[in-house]
Structure 1
């Protein structure tokens, strides 16, 4: 009971800190909120001292940020989140309406994600875990940027073919295309994580006994999915919040008045009442999603966790054979080597948006620059920085995952912050600089890895071999070093590699805020953003960087297939032959 109360207080404190930071954002960033509000209200009006003083008096800015924050917090118990600084409308109905739109879109996107995950795992489920896994199709889906998928669906399916509505929000049929853009990448990631655990479930004694008794494989497959779901439910909860608040690009492309878009517009305009209310709604949603995920995991496998007699899901299996990773790496290196001798900044306006040819194998962009040269020169910065951030987030996620009471509420709170808002907060605290985008991405990218680590450790601590090893007198440090970490590190590492292309894309998306790469930099994500308006007229301008990014995702996942647990080695003296005295301290690894 005491630990539950402490966790709730820790979660409430983090939520309060986040809302306070958001409320102090203009002052932390050393900007004038009156000037930003004036530009948002009327860009043509001159910012004279008299006009700015009138706005400060109207909004109460002269009373200071702490007074404004206290006044806003005081209205929350009455359901009053203030009035918008831009439109003057009540904030509570606006945010609740945007939240309802986002929740409907999230529900449909989760259905698409569940179907996608089922297709990714279909071969493993059909063959009882003995089929060849590691197909790169799911890696390509996971690596595709959401805004690119949304643009293609809106242009081709919505406009050219006219099968589904592409713009607006006037009914359930308008959710299908944006839900596909959001659900396909999320489902590919969840499917890969589930596919990684299913062979261990099929190898457990109950599954082998059921197969020997002639129980239909379909029933065994259903139970295998049930067995592995608790390890994925924390990440599914993070996806709910991430889709709700992080679908900014998709909501803008399809003109959807969701919470992510509302929060982004409020952040850029420094409309603090709307921004604070939107952030609070996302934090509360994160808490609800996390609570639902933990309750579902408890219902699925809770009693077995208390008994300490679970079989381990993490068995050593031979890595997938084949030359696929080498072939993908060779193709990527060939593209980089072919483009490095070319000039990525050379302009030739007479050859704008030229189709691929012998002289320009990837075509040219809107300024006549060679796309092969730009892709190759952008590869070094993009790949090296993304790899460095992935390594840092992996270490951070594993370290915090060992402390679930600390990292659980922290991960939920961090995940509730949309990427744009996170970038603004990091910039306000750390200032603009070369490493600001990397700090912004690293500050949030560890959350799913920490949730994955905590979920896997929770099940592994209840495994039968852990109970047996502990009964022989193994110390907590021995259990952590020789049993828990060797079982958990490989799947979490594969998870981190699966997210490598997403890290590269998130870095690029910050360029729109002036925090990341700026033109004429050939960074991959910036290439996608620059050429997206010409996707219908010159699709090669978008397909070239997108294909290389998908190639990176396929390479990351196929390489991750070789990350396997080490062989168990029993050395004399590792495990004491007699029980440990009662005074032995019980650490995190023994529970």
Structure 2
């Protein structure tokens, strides 16, 4: 419990230090950034820049300035905005209140949804029926990014049906759609975690023993749920990180005055103190949630099992047919292939926001450009960047797989930062763009691959034939290049390919927030963002890139399932340990 907390604290310190040194890391004059943010028309004369430096204390240097800010932050003073001159703390607290309210409402959606997803397996196992994990709907919901779900809800529920208000933060009605957009993916992840753990739990010997005693199904269900929860509770920290990062996009879509919008605006205006305070509060939310989960797991385990080696049951892969993968790949292929034959940048102001027709199969956007052409030409901008990020993450993962001690601390830090937060930091340092988005996604995409590589390296080095070859005099270099590396490179490469759709979705999310490719580039996330102001007049302009992105979500779910069903499993069967056999409370009485 102490080690993860220290790792999270190290991640928090790294993020805060990176934010504090952003202007100097970018290689730009902070005084010039402030002057441009305050007045774009003022000439950056030497006298004007010197006045800004004296006002903000920039002459002291980056280390001294950051140290002063950190000491003031500990005392509750986050400084003054470089743009407006107002205190940062009230703005951060105001945004924090809206964000915490939104996240609490999202949890009210997530918990019932998670219960509904794992309830069928729990009921079947308690009755003694065969338990199988996984449902197609739940698996798909885990892969749908929050910004995409928010856009679909906005189009369907607000624009088409008119049931709920689309924008604002004035009453309960304005909370429903943002809470659904943020809570549905989180609830799907929680439900899937428990649902995947239940089949192995119901195969443990204590379940057979309790059933022979005549325990009621309700007693067995409660005990199995308590047995399944402790191993998966540490994963809830990742869900909290996802809520933190997803809240940024949801707040932008629904115009919620939360921390996400505040941080995004501060990054765009180069308002360093406001960006520092907002990012610090966002990361602290994830840190506090992870600490709360660790405490909850400590309580659920009880005093008898806190020191036991309680490990999570192996996850059971969802079943998916190759036809589902083919269907998810055919639609984007047809749209992209058709769109590549058309001109994406041709302007026709007389054809603005036209509905779908034979001349424009997917309609036109606000500048009269053909939506089909822009969606087709957006594939290289979205999938091409994802391919580059995937290849770089693969190379880093294989390298760090041979250095598990170094990789562990770096992975903990990377896992503590959502892609959106990384995108904010990179955009503030280097400016928004496709390269910055690729770097941001790459910074948080390699840890799962590195963990896989490290496990394979350990397994390959401990193999019997490897030890025999070393005993026969084989050099370490020969063993590494001829035995260990081939055993690692192939499986990790397949793992990286399976993560390609998810990386593409993360890249599109940064483009949607304006942190990725810039206009007039036809990037899918950017296309979705450009269509939001015209949802009521031309919803088809938003639905076209949304459908393509949804097909990527289908692939993100289906590819690993198909791979697991066609590849022989190397995981040893689950065996009940002394800890797992006693993980549940003693039965109270027979039915």
- Answer yes or no: same fold by TM over 0.5: yes
1:427 is aligned to 430
1:67 equivalent in alignment to 2:64: yes
Residue 441 of structure 1 deviates from its aligned partner by: 0.5
Q: 1:433 to 1:241 in 2, by over 3 A?
A: closer
Q: Distance in 2 between matches of 1:309 and 1:52?
A: 60
Residue 105 of structure 1 deviates from its aligned partner by: 1.4
Q: 1:413 to 1:425 in 2, by over 3 A?
A: farther
Deviates further, 67-76 or 340-349: 340-349
Checking the alignment, whether the CA contact within 8 Å between 2:11 and 2:414 is kept in structure 1 is no
Checking the alignment, whether the CA contact within 8 Å between 2:152 and 2:546 is kept in structure 1 is no
1:288 is aligned to 288
Q: Distance in 2 between matches of 1:395 and 1:135?
A: 33
1:313 is aligned to 314
SS at 1:68 equivalent = helix
* Cα deviation digits, residues 244-300 of structure 1 (max 9, x gap): 355223223333332222222222223222222333333433332222222223333
1:354 equivalent in alignment to 2:354: yes
Q: Distance in 2 between matches of 1:514 and 1:402?
A: 36
Residue 220 of structure 1 deviates from its aligned partner by: 3.7
Checking the alignment, whether the CA contact within 8 Å between 1:393 and 1:445 is kept in structure 2 is yes
1:444 equivalent in alignment to 2:441: no
Residue 546 of structure 1 deviates from its aligned partner by: 1.0
Q: Distance in 2 between matches of 1:10 and 1:550?
A: 34
Q: Distance in 1 between matches of 2:419 and 2:341?
A: 44
Residue 26 of structure 1 deviates from its aligned partner by: 1.3
1:30 equivalent in alignment to 2:33: no
1:101 equivalent in alignment to 2:102: no
1:9-48 aligned within 5 A: 12-43=9-40, 45=42, 47-48=44-45
* Cα deviation digits, residues 500-530 of structure 1 (max 9, x gap): 5553233234447876433443332222122
1:418 equivalent in alignment to 2:421: yes
1:253 is aligned to 253
Checking the alignment, whether the CA contact within 8 Å between 2:81 and 2:88 is kept in structure 1 is yes
1:560 is aligned to 560
* Cα deviation digits, residues 430-489 of structure 1 (max 9, x gap): xx88644222101123467889999x99xxxxxxxxxxxxxxxxxxxxxxxxxxxx9xx9
1:186-585 aligned within 5 A: 186-211=186-211, 215-244=215-244, 246-301=246-301, 304=305, 306-308=307-309, 312-314=313-315, 320=320, 323-386=323-386, 389-390=389-390, 406=409, 409-411=412-414, 413-415=416-418, 418-424=421-427, 427=430, 435-446=435-446, 497=498, 501-511=501-511, 516-564=516-564, 566-567=568-569
1:89 is aligned to 86
2:589 is aligned to none
Q: 1:495 to 1:389 in 2, by over 3 A?
A: closer
Q: Distance in 1 between matches of 2:327 and 2:249?
A: 33
SS at 1:414 equivalent = coil
1:110 equivalent in alignment to 2:110: no
Q: How many residues align?
A: 533
Mark the runs of 5 or more structure 2 residues left unpaired by the alignment.
457-486, 573-591
Q: 1:248 to 1:88 in 2, by over 3 A?
A: same
Residue 309 of structure 1 deviates from its aligned partner by: 7.4
SS at 1:85 equivalent = coil
Q: Distance in 2 between matches of 1:49 and 1:389?
A: 41
Q: Distance in 1 between matches of 2:8 and 2:172?
A: 35
SS at 1:561 equivalent = helix
Checking the alignment, whether the CA contact within 8 Å between 2:58 and 2:65 is kept in structure 1 is yes
Q: 1:123 to 1:349 in 2, by over 3 A?
A: farther
Checking the alignment, whether the CA contact within 8 Å between 2:109 and 2:187 is kept in structure 1 is yes
Q: Distance in 2 between matches of 1:523 and 1:321?
A: 30
SS at 1:80 equivalent = coil
Deviates further, 542-551 or 408-417: 408-417
2:482 is aligned to none
1:479 is aligned to none
Mark the runs of 5 or more structure 1 residues left unpaired by the alignment.
458-485, 571-591
Checking the alignment, whether the CA contact within 8 Å between 2:344 and 2:522 is kept in structure 1 is yes
SS at 2:329 equivalent = helix
Q: CA RMSD in A?
A: 4.4
Deviates further, 444-453 or 15-24: 444-453
Checking the alignment, whether the CA contact within 8 Å between 2:252 and 2:260 is kept in structure 1 is no
2:577 is aligned to none
Using structure 1 for the length normalisation, give the TM-score: 0.75
Residue 118 of structure 1 deviates from its aligned partner by: 3.0
* Cα deviation digits, residues 532-571 of structure 1 (max 9, x gap): 222222222211221121122113312222343844699x
Residue 419 of structure 1 deviates from its aligned partner by: 3.8
Checking the alignment, whether the CA contact within 8 Å between 2:336 and 2:377 is kept in structure 1 is yes
Q: Distance in 1 between matches of 2:28 and 2:89?
A: 26
Checking the alignment, whether the CA contact within 8 Å between 1:246 and 1:419 is kept in structure 2 is no
